[in-house]
Amino acid sequence: MTDTFAGGGAAPEQVAPWWRSAVFYQVYPRSFADSNGDGVGDLGGLRDKLGYLELLGVDALWICPIMRSPMADGGYDVSDPRDIDPLFGSLELMDELIAEAHDRRMRVTMDLVPNHSSDQHPWFQAALAAGPGSPERARYLFRDGRGPDGGAPPNNWPSIFGGPAWTRIREADGRPGQWYLHLFAPEQPDLNWENPEVAADFEQTMRFWLQRGVDGFRIDVAHGMAKPPGLPDMETVDTRMLAHEDSDPRFNNPGVHRIHRGIRRIMDEYPHAVAIGEVWVNDNNRFGEYVRPDELHLAFNFRLAETPFAPDSIRAAVDNSLRAVTMVGASPTWTLSNHDIAREVTRYGGGAVGQARARAMMMLEMALPGAVFVYNGAELGLPNVDDLPDEVLQDPAWARSGHVERGRDGCRVPLPWEGERSPFGFTTGRPWLPIPAQWAQLTVERQLERLDSMLSLYRMAIELRAVRPEFAGPGLEWYGSPPGCLAFRRAGGLLCVLNATDSPIVLPAGEVLLSSAPITARKLPANSTAWLV
Ligand code: NOJ
């Protein structure tokens, strides 16, 4: 880095499918808006708020799981993948939602969960009844236990939510029997993707939703569906909650790419649609393998969300994310948070500083080439709620960890829409998680009235990104910048400058298109970002 701003360069523009540079809005349906007063958000609530999302300017929705589920993991435990859970609505309502979103020129993508089913899925119930060696058991990963009485799990893998990744069942005669694998909660048995019935059923599910008009899928645990031959022990048992290394045998096995090629063949029959994989892997080469031309269209890259508010780390995250996809001709994705990660305002320090940094990072993210995913509530600058009472916690990680890990409920608190008191228009009933009284300051209603709100900044940033030619081009060039700052230029001519120091810096030449904090005398305040053209 240098003390002055200098640099530039242009890359050729490409004609791109809609999803390449779309702004996706992630709806965590339980927490978005409730239309029937049961305290849990639903599709009716989402439909009522489509006008708001249109105003926000997003191109597409990603709706977290809404299929039939006993809700052991917020819907990521699916008992019927081709129906809507009554908690959220009905197939008819989903059809209406898709049509209304399309009328408003928003695409609709939904979460599918191919790695595991619910333990209440008819297949799993049949597998329990059917006994060892049966075709019913072969749809899952049942194994005999180790030790003389089979009393020890088949291998040493821990579950991502704590405790062993294996649960022992009782056979029909009441005796302790085989064990089944569940990388997540015991209510989420892993499916056996070596079994052609599993792929065939997933194909049916994809076609079912695509034919109803959805524009694609977010594919849960897209790096986990293939298991290593023989299910070998882990060398070092990694018991961190919701985390794993690239060497972890539970994930990123080479066989997963055959599965993704199969999924892509089906997707290609619906050329408007996109498949976006949840892929947790650090190595750039291995990440790139998931987005080769015959695999997923996009994969989530979580580097930016894992990065502290520090210029070197941010630059490394951007460079690595770009490198991982450009090697295979794919497009990057960016996100600052989701329903599994602490909210960015809190990660960046909370309070006014956390807000300022979240604004700055959002503008940096929106200036990058590729697709952006905004987690519901990020546009309101919601913080994580880290002081939820123990008795309301619902994340399976809380119980599985013996009440040590509080889990992810803190980033899933329902959105505040209007008014001065909880539940702030989210529901007419009692919200499934309590909403902090201080969120009266953060309601949509209040933020729409103020030009300096997080919501207004999001609206302006999304609009500029969509309409200004300066955002064109697939790549970026780093621009010389003072210590503690970052600057890059897009081929179209946009210059994005982030000041991560604690004092103002003088901006380089150019017209200021937007800034995350007021600029006076051409000085960009601490913890803020400006776009120049
Ligand atoms: C990833 C999802 O984002 C998370 O919420 C869920 O718990 C696991 N996959 C298991 O499905």
Same domain for 75 and 205, yes or no, is yes
The half-sphere exposure of 474 on its side-chain side, counting CA atoms within 13 A, is 17
Containing 314, the helix (H) or strand (E) segment is helix 311-326
Output the CA 186–ligand 1 centroid distance in Å: 13
Extract the tokens encoding 519.
């600029």
Q: Give yes or no for residue 220 CB within 6 A of ligand 1.
A: yes
Extract the tokens encoding 410.
């803190």
Containing 459, the helix (H) or strand (E) segment is helix 454-467
What does the radius of gyration of the chain's CA atoms come to, in whole angstroms?
23
Only one residue has tokens 């503690």, namely 484
Output the CA 28–ligand 1 centroid distance in Å: 12
Within 10 Å of residue 92's Cβ, how many Cβ atoms? 10
CA dist list (Å): 522 to 352, 498, 507 = 22, 14, 6
pLDDT at res. 15: 61
Closest by Cα among 244, 128, 242 to 185? 242
Could you tell me the pTM of the whole model? 0.96
Same domain for 301 and 416, yes or no, is yes
Same domain for 207 and 285, yes or no, is yes
**8 Å CB contact between 302 and 321:** no
Q: Considering 181, 204, 231, which residue would you say is the last residue of a domain?
A: 181
Same domain for 376 and 509, yes or no, is no
CATH number at residue 156: 3.90.400.10
Q: Is 250 a member of any domain?
A: yes
Beta bridge mates, 111: 218
The SS3 call for residue 320 is helix
Q: Give yes or no for residue 395 CB within 6 A of ligand 1.
A: no
Extract the tokens encoding 161.
């939510």
Q: Is 30 a member of any domain?
A: yes
CA dist list (Å): 269 to 20, 30, 262, 465 = 19, 32, 12, 30
Identify the sign of the CA torsion 306, 311, 313, 314: positive
Q: Give yes or no for residue 184 CB within 6 A of ligand 1.
A: yes
Q: Phi and psi for 528 in degrees, rounded to 5? A: -145, 170
- pLDDT string in tens for the chain (533-residue length): 333 444 443 344 446 899 999 999 999 999 999 999 999 999 999 999 999 999 999 999 999 999 999 999 999 999 999 999 999 999 999 999 999 999 999 999 999 999 999 999 999 999 999 999 999 999 999 999 999 999 999 999 999 998 999 999 999 999 999 999 999 999 999 999 999 999 999 999 999 999 999 999 999 999 999 999 999 999 988 787 777 899 999 999 999 999 999 999 999 999 999 999 999 999 999 999 999 999 999 999 999 999 999 999 999 999 999 999 999 999 999 999 999 999 999 999 999 999 999 999 999 999 999 999 999 999 999 999 999 999 999 999 999 889 999 999 999 999 999 999 999 999 999 999 999 999 999 999 999 999 999 999 999 999 999 999 999 988 999 999 999 999 999 999 999 999 999 999 999 999 999 999 999 999 999 999 999 99
Which among 95, 103, 235, 269 is annotated as catalytic? 269
Q: Give yes or no for residue 73 CB within 6 A of ligand 1.
A: yes
| Catalytic annotation present for 269 | yes
Same domain for 30 and 110, yes or no, is yes
pLDDT at res. 135: 98
Same domain for 214 and 322, yes or no, is yes
Q: Give yes or no for residue 299 CB within 6 A of ligand 1.
A: no
Q: Contacts for 149-155 with beta carbons within 8 Å, 24 or more apart?
A: 149/176, 150/176, 150/177, 150/178, 150/179, 151/176, 153/179, 154/179, 154/181, 154/231, 155/231, 155/232, 155/233, 155/234
Q: Is 314 a member of any domain?
A: yes
Residue of minimum CA distance from atom 5 in ligand 1 = 340
How many folded domains does the chain comprise?
3
Same domain for 132 and 199, yes or no, is no
**8 Å CB contact between 26 and 374:** yes
Interacting residues of 421 by C-beta distance below 8 A, sequence separation 6+:
437, 440
Closest by Cα among 429, 417, 435, 433 to 38? 429
Q: Give yes or no for residue 221 CB within 6 A of ligand 1.
A: yes
For residue 505, the enclosing domain spans: 476-532
The half-sphere exposure of 217 on its side-chain side, counting CA atoms within 13 A, is 30
Residue of minimum CA distance from atom 4 in ligand 1 = 340
Which among 34, 85, 220, 278 is annotated as catalytic? 220
The widest CA-to-CA distance across the chain, in whole angstroms, is: 81
CATH number at residue 207: 3.20.20.80
Same domain for 319 and 337, yes or no, is yes
CA dist list (Å): 322 to 26, 109, 293, 301, 517 = 22, 24, 16, 10, 27
CATH number at residue 492: 2.60.40.1180
Q: Which residue among 27, 71, 76 has the greatest number of ligand 1 atoms within 8 angstroms of its CB, and so is best to mutate? A: 76
Output the CA 76–ligand 1 centroid distance in Å: 6
Same domain for 388 and 239, yes or no, is yes
| Catalytic annotation present for 233 | no
Same domain for 240 and 156, yes or no, is no
